[in-house]
A and B are shown apart, each in its own frame.
Chain A
Amino acid sequence: KAGVTQTPRYLIKTRGQQVTLSCSPISGHRSVSWYQQTPGQGLQFLFEYFSETQRNKGNFPGRFSGRQFSNSRSEMNVSTLELGDSALYLCASRQLMNTEAFFGQGTRLTVV
């Protein structure tokens, strides 16, 4: 069974630009969550989607958004990038009613 796949692995963007990251969950997993990991703040929850609807949201500004498609694939978007948005962005998928979340390899975003 294929794991969680995130694309791209690495991105370099300029301040003010916007970026879209993609996540394909494990087959059969309907929930997709996104996390931001930085050295200073650790792993922080961004949002969760299942059934194409945002179900939970972390404490991040509205510049961070996401969506989920009917095949459970998810994208997250960050608009008007700031230097502080440089981080490893992780996607995790799980089966509903199960807390065990499985992570992708992440997308390393660098904002210059």
Chain B
Amino acid sequence: GQQLNQSPQSMFIQEGEDVSMNCTSSSIFNTWLWYKQDPGEGPVLLIALYKAGELTSNGRLTAQFGITRKDSFLNISASIPSDVGIYFCANAGGTSYGKLTFGQGTILTVHP
């Protein structure tokens, strides 16, 4: 089945630094979703991307849908301690909108 390769697996940064993570796949997709999960909680949808080349922002977060439709990037600018958590990319295969495949996640630690 389809797999999403997310990198890096973990990041340790200082408060105020910018963060970049990405997700790649061998398959072409029409949608990319980015989620953040805090410990013991469910994932929260951050950004949804629907078009190749699309660049979308949500506050300090910016995500891009790769031109090849096989990858996506998430950037966080000027990180703060509450950015700590696990970030996941996800997408749905074909017409199975309700069946999301997730990347392995990027664990972000922000040192004050």
Check A101/B98 contact, CB under 8 A, given A42-B104, A42-B105, A43-B88. yes
A101 and B100: CB pair below 8 A? yes
Check A43/B102 contact, CB under 8 A, given A94-B97, A99-B91, A100-B48. yes
Q: Which residues on the A side are within 8 Å of B5 (C-beta)?
A: none
B98 and A108: CB pair below 8 A? no
Q: Please, how many angstroms separate the alpha-carbon atoms of A77 and B97 in the complex? A: 23
A103 and B42: CB pair below 8 A? yes
A98 and B42: CB pair below 8 A? no
Chain B residues numbered 55-112 whose CB sits less than 8 Å from any CB in chain A: 88, 90-92, 96-102, 104-105
Report the minimum CB–CB distance from B104 to chain A (whole Å): 6
Chain A residues numbered 34-66 whose CB sits less than 8 Å from any CB in chain B: 35, 42-43, 45, 48, 50, 55-56, 58
Q: Please, how many angstroms separate the alpha-carbon atoms of A90 and B100 in the complex? A: 12
**5 smallest A-B Cβ distances: which pairs?**
A103-B42, A48-B98, A43-B102, A56-B99, A99-B31
19 additional A-B residue pairs with CB within 8 Å, beyond A90-B43, A103-B43: A31-B98, A33-B99, A42-B102, A43-B43, A43-B88, A43-B90, A43-B100, A45-B101, A48-B98, A88-B40, A94-B97, A97-B97, A98-B97, A99-B31, A101-B33, A101-B45, A103-B35, A104-B42, A106-B41
